[in-house]
Structure 1
Amino acid sequence: MTKATTIKAVETLACDAGWRNYHFVKVTTEDGLVGWSEYDEGFGAPGVTAAIERLSARVIGKNAFQHERIYAELFAATRPAAGGVVALALGAIENALLDVKAKALGVPCYDLLGGKIRDRVRVYWSHCATWRINHPDWYKPAIADLDGVKAIGREVREKKFSAMKTNIFVYTNGRPQGWRPGFGSPFQPEINVDRTVLRNLCMHLEAIRDGAGPDVDLLLDLNFNAKTEGYLKILRAIEKMDMFWVEIDTFNPQALGYIRRQSPHPISSCETLLGLREFLPYFTEQAMDVAIIDTPWNGVWQSMKIAAAAEHFEVNVAPHNFYGHLCTMINAHFCAAVPNLRIMETDIDRLAWDHELFTHVPEFVDGHLVIPDRPGWGTEPNEEGLRAHPPKNKGGLLNYGLKK
């Protein structure tokens, strides 16, 4: 082991990201190599930073090239509480170690994963209309009616993206509002789907389709916003619409398999799962057409194992990606190397200062992300930019809808 690869420090940094914060891990070696990763505390996972900082003592002094060994040691040390926030911390550390290793070798991270299969990755415009409705202070122009929904559909087509994903909205006096009872907004723990929700969802989908035209693929994300009965009601209501996929989250693989076997549309799922053990029951149930893997949560090295298992079950994969630009690049390298890829998620609506926070931003050409060939992930946080946008005390789903 040389100084080039001996880990000297593990730090966490954060910055303001509008309605949430962005979070980063910085790993520094004895001779000054720096590896980065991005993680998230706003998507129902508070405390990841504390877990990373607690685990860092077991990382310092180790050889960054031995990321599989480090991961195994950290898993062993945390086995009684495996999964959850601890798993997210392990994934964040793993991704920073991959960045160090690739930079030490002078290669892009995809070379560590077997080399790239593709130079460009087809993407879909995620949270299309969603960000401009739910967070109008941060994403412009704000959408306040169906005309705005149609307009963003046209924008997708005019900017040459070939796919877009939206969510559930209810219109009151013509104004849309996100319907997310699965996340407590509104607070309806029974999570039932009534006629009003169905009628409004169909109206919303028809408007965005009208704007985008017939040649743009339409995806719908239902998240955790129904029970099995409600998901089936929604699928029946939109049966005649041409959907690329309908995304459903459920903690029960048998329930999802039951839904898929009755669905007229392809089903995607699993973005909140952690580790191959959690994915396997969904694979054996043949519960989804596309397995969504959160590579910042799982770690890219572990995500490749999940993707390999998906291949055995004749299932393609897609990354979960709604974070900052570093996560987009991390997912880009995964997408470049994984054989059984379906499509990549990305947010095109960005904060006004996102470009200030990173050394390089993603490049999109004709609805595809161009895979960078720079060493490591191909971008890293700009620490001066992070300091210019200090993090807020609160943010993300835990604070969504609370009175200011």
Structure 2
Amino acid sequence: MQIKKIELFKVPPRWLFLKITTDQGLSGWGEAIVEGKADTVRAAVKEMESYLIDKNPMQIEDIWQTLYRGAFYRGGPVLMSAIAGIDQALWDIKGKYLQQPVYELLGGKVRDKVRVYSWIGGDRPDNVAQAAQEKKDAGFTAVKMNGTEELHYIDSYKKIDQAAARVAAIREKLGPDFGIAVDFHGRVHKGMARILFKELEPYRLMFIEEPVLSENIEALATMDTFGIPIALGERLFSRWDYKKVFELNKVDIIQPDLSHAGGISEVKKIAAMAEAYDTAVAPHSPLGPINLAASLQIDAVTPNVFIQEQSLGIHYNQGNGLLDYLVNKEVFKYKDGYAEISDQAGLGIEIDEELVRAEAKSAHNWKNPVWRNQDGTIAEW
């Protein structure tokens, strides 16, 4: 069997799908994207095409090593996201060829279902208590929200008070056992992060995400986190990036993204490293159905996964959503706050290719907003 064709589809709301087809007519799907840089990742995949055409798609590890090590420059969001989409599609092909779900090829599942959480609110969340109640009524047992608006290096206590008040409203409305995660989104600098940790301590958070940017991770060593679990990793792209996280020993949950961190092959290795450091895994997945399907394959075989992000109803998705591109929209049906692990071959989903091709003609150009502080300086989004 040989790889004969690689196609890319930039589809709304902000995704890039990849399809690999073999000489036997077997095809696999991947999701290769850096949000806001779809055309850049598309170009990276096209530049890798010569390493793939006529190769045996079953030799996934050798292909991964070739794509990573075969070129002098490596790593980073663009190259690793390109590899990630290719890797997902190759695992999809191999699973379909062997008529097995990918998790069976990775050693077999350790769980039948995985807990999921839902996003609430936007970047300036309002009425989050009601939004959380709606998610609870829909069957979710945990939510995540962005914690603050833009923050300067040192900012006002008013913004701190507003963030704490929003979390307090959810806790008061939904009780002590409902899961609440607060995403600082890397927009909080260390001086303000210290204050926020102290103010949020009473609300028994499930975790705080990206309390500081990953490039400033050493700041965590100087911080009292008041016992709140720390999660980060969506902006780390390989096991080599994660080395410094594990060595610091201040992070409780890592969040590799199956579309950014080298795909299924690499995230499996990152998760195994995390287990050796007694660290939990919660794959980052605010993206599309292929990304989530790949994440669930990792969840199935990874004992230290404790929860899975998913994008159903997320505020970033405008026009198209998680289920739109699936033939079987029941595959991600959640029950009692959990997602079932599918036993279907490959990634366990069937893509509505006709819709993908139609929507790709719209050529989305999604970009994240650019924020500024009151004094005009650029703020982290």
Same fold (TM over 0.5): yes
Measure, in 2, the Cα distance between the counterparts of 1:6 and 1:155: 49
Deviations 1:158-179 (A, max 9, x none): 122111111124xxxxxxxxx1
Counterpart-to-counterpart distance in 1, 2:176 and 2:95: 42
What is the aligned-residue identity percentage? 28
Measured after TM superposition, the shift of residue 119 of structure 1 is: 0.9
Q: 1:343 aligns with which of 304, 307, 320?
A: 307
Match of 1:357 in 2: 325
Task: Note the residue ranges of structure 2 that are not aligned, 5 or more in a row.
Answer: 373-381
Query: What residue number does 1:396 align with?
Result: 367
What TM-score comes out, normalization by structure 1 length? 0.84
Tell me the residue number matched to 2:235: 272
**Amino acid aligned to 1:151:** Q
The structural deviation recorded for 1:381 is: 2.5
Which of 138, 148, 157 does residue 195 from structure 1 map onto?
Answer: 157
Partner of 1:14: 10
TM-score, normalised via structure 2 length: 0.89
Q: Is structure 2 residue 351 aligned with structure 1 residue 381?
A: yes
CA contact (8 A) 1:119 1:371 kept: yes
**Number of the residue aligned with 1:371:** 341
Give the distance between the partners of 1:316 and 1:109, measured in 2 at CA: 22
Alignment partners' CA distance in 1, 2:38 and 2:324: 26
1:253–1:287 contact (8 Å) kept in structure 2: no
The answer on whether the counterparts of 1:257 and 1:288 sit within 8 Å (CA) in structure 2 is no
Cα 1:341–1:43 change in 2 (3 A) is farther
- Residues 168-196 of structure 1 deviation map (CA, whole Å, 9 limit, x = unaligned): 24xxxxxxxxx145xxxxxxxx5434212
User: Superposed, which structure 2 residues align to 1:5-84 within 5 Å?
Assistant: 5-17=1-13, 21-42=14-35, 47-84=40-77
**Which stretch shifts more, 57-66 or 243-252?**
243-252
Q: State the SS of the aligned residue for 2:159.
A: helix
Contact 1:168/1:180 (<8 A) preserved: no
**Among candidates 177, 184, 188, match of residue 215 of structure 1:** 177
Give the C-alpha shift of residue 360 in structure 1. 2.8
Asked whether the equivalents of residues 293 and 347 of structure 2 are also in contact (C-alpha less than 8 Å), the reply is yes
Residue 272 of structure 1: how far off its partner (Å): 1.0
1:282 aligns with 2:249: no
1:321 matched residue in structure 2 = 285
> Structure 2: how far apart are the matches of 1:204 and 1:93?
41
Shift of 1:204: 1.6
CA distance in 1, matches of 2:42, 2:187: 28
**Amino acid paired to 1:7:** I
In structure 2, distance between residues paired with 1:225 and 1:203: 19
Residue 155 (structure 1) aligned with residue 145 (structure 2): no
Worse overlay, 241-250 or 57-66: 241-250
Partner letter of residue 93 of structure 1?
Answer: I
Distance 1:43 1:206 in 2: 33
Alpha-carbon deviation of 1:50? 0.6
The 1:332–1:115 alpha-carbon spacing in structure 2 relative to 1, beyond 3 Å, is: same
Partner of 2:121: 129
CA distance in structure 1 between the partners assigned to 2:273 and 2:38 by the alignment? 26
Go from structure 1 to structure 2 and tell me whether the alpha carbon gap of 1:208 and 1:26 turns closer, same or farther (over 3 Å shift).
same
CA RMSD of aligned residues (A): 2.1
Paired with 2:32 and 2:155, the residues of 1 have a C-alpha distance of 33
Q: Note if contact 1:310-1:317 (Cα within 8 Å) is conserved in structure 2.
A: yes
Counterparts of 1:356 and 1:244, CA distance in 2:
30
Which whole-Å deviations, capped at 9, do the CAs of 1:184-235 have from their partners, x for residues lacking one?
Answer: xxxxxx5434212101101221233334333311110101112221111110
Counterparts of 1:377 and 1:30 in 2: how far apart (Å)? 20
User: How many Å apart are 1:353 and its aligned residue?
Assistant: 4.3
Opposite residue 170 of structure 2, the aligned amino acid is I
Per the alignment, residue 185 of structure 1 pairs with none
Look up the SS of the partner of 2:206 in the other structure: strand
Task: Compare 244-253 and 60-69 and name the one that shifted more.
Answer: 244-253
Superposed displacement of residue 105, structure 1: 0.5
Stretches of structure 1 that go unaligned for 5 or more consecutive residues are 135-142, 170-178, 182-189
CA offset at residue 399 of structure 1? 7.1
Check if 1:111 corresponds to 2:104: yes
Change (3 A) 1:79 1:339: farther
Q: Which residue of 2 aligns with 1:330?
A: 294
SS of the residue aligned with 1:9?
strand
